Amino acid sequence: MAIATIKLKEYKKDASPTEKAIIDYILNNPEETSRLTIYMLAERTYTSPSSIIRLCKKNGYGGFKDFIKELIYEQAIRTNYKEVTSSDLKRTDDIEEIVSKVTHKNIISLEETESLLDYDVLKTCVEKIYNSEKLTIFGMGASQIVAKDAQLKFTRINKMSYVSEDWHTQLLYAKNMDKGDVALVISYSGQTEEMITCAQTAKANGATVISITKVADSPIERLADYSLYVASNEFSFRSGAMSSRIAQLNLIDILYSGYVNQMYDESLELLEKTQIKKE
C-alpha cells in the first residue's frame, strides 16, 4: 500500500481548497505533523478537526489516529533509509566494498520502491494498458533502456508497443496518439524536457499518460493521469543510472506480470509460441 504522503500527493489533484491547505502543511512538515494532535493541526492549517477527519477517511483511513500511525511509520522508514544509504562510494573502496555497496543500494531501492506502490493505481495502470488500442513507451538515456525492455516483454505476448531511440520520432508517436491509447513515460527526474513535450502532446491528443518517476514534484508527474514512483536514492555522483534503473525495470516487470495475469492461459500459449529456441 502506498505510504501516507504519496496518498495525499495523489489525492491533492482532486482536493478542495480546505483539503489542499491541510495537505500542503502535512507534506511540508511531515515530522512535525506526526507529533501534533488533530486540534493542533487544525489550528496550524486554519481548518477544523472535522475537515481533517474527512480528508483522512477519503484517503482510506479510519480516522486521524490511523493516519498518524502510518505517517509515523513512514518517517521511521525514511530515517532508516537515510542512515543505511548514507555511505556513498569512495575513492579508497576496494572491489569487495564496491560489490557490497552497489548490491545493497539496489536492494534498498527495490524495497523502498515497493513501499511507494499504490496498489489501486497500479491495478488501474495494468487495466489501462490491457484495454489500450496502442501502447507507446517514452524514455531518454537510461530510461530508454527500460522502455525497450518493456517493449520486448509486451511484444512477446502480442501487445504491440512502440519505442524509438530518436526523440523526434518519439514526438511523432505522441502526435499520432488518440483517445484509447496509453503513453508510458519513463523519466527518473521527471524533468527531462523531451519527455515533458511528449507527455504534453500525448495528453493533448486524449491519450492516457502513465508516468514512472522518482518521488518528487515534477512536470511529468503533474501531467500524468496515473503516477508510479521509484525510490530516489542514487549514489551522489550518479555517473550513470544504477539503482533507479533497477527500480524502473522492476516496475516494468510488475506491470507486465499484472498484464499477463489478466490473460493467463492465452499468455502461456503466446510465450510458448514466441520463444526463440536455441539448438
Domain ranges of the chain: 4-80, 119-274
pLDDT at residue 38, as a whole number: 95
Binned at pLDDT 50, 70 and 90, residue 1 comes out as very low
Residues 224-228: what's their mean pLDDT?
93
Q: Which residues of 139-172 are buried (b: 16+ CB within 10 A; e: fewer)?
A: bbebbbebbbbbbebbebbebebbbbeebeebbe
Confidence tier at 195 by pLDDT (50, 70, 90): very high
* Mean pLDDT lowest among 24-28, 134-138, 266-270: 266-270
Q: 119-274 is classed in which CATH architecture?
A: 3-Layer(aba) Sandwich (3.40)
Query: Average pLDDT in the 260-276 region?
Result: 78
Which architecture does CATH list for 4-80? Orthogonal Bundle (1.10)
N-terminal to C-terminal alpha carbon distance within the chain: 45
Among 10-24, 90-104, 204-218, 233-247, the least confident range: 233-247
Confidence grade of residue 249 (pLDDT, cut at 50, 70, 90): very high
Opening angle at CA 229, ends 223 and 232, nearest 5: 115
What CA–CA distance (Å, rounded) separates 219 from 161?
A: 24
* pLDDT at residue 128 in the model: 96
What is residue 234's predicted lDDT score, i.e. its pLDDT?
57
Angle at 134 between CA 229 and CA 226, to 5 degrees: 25
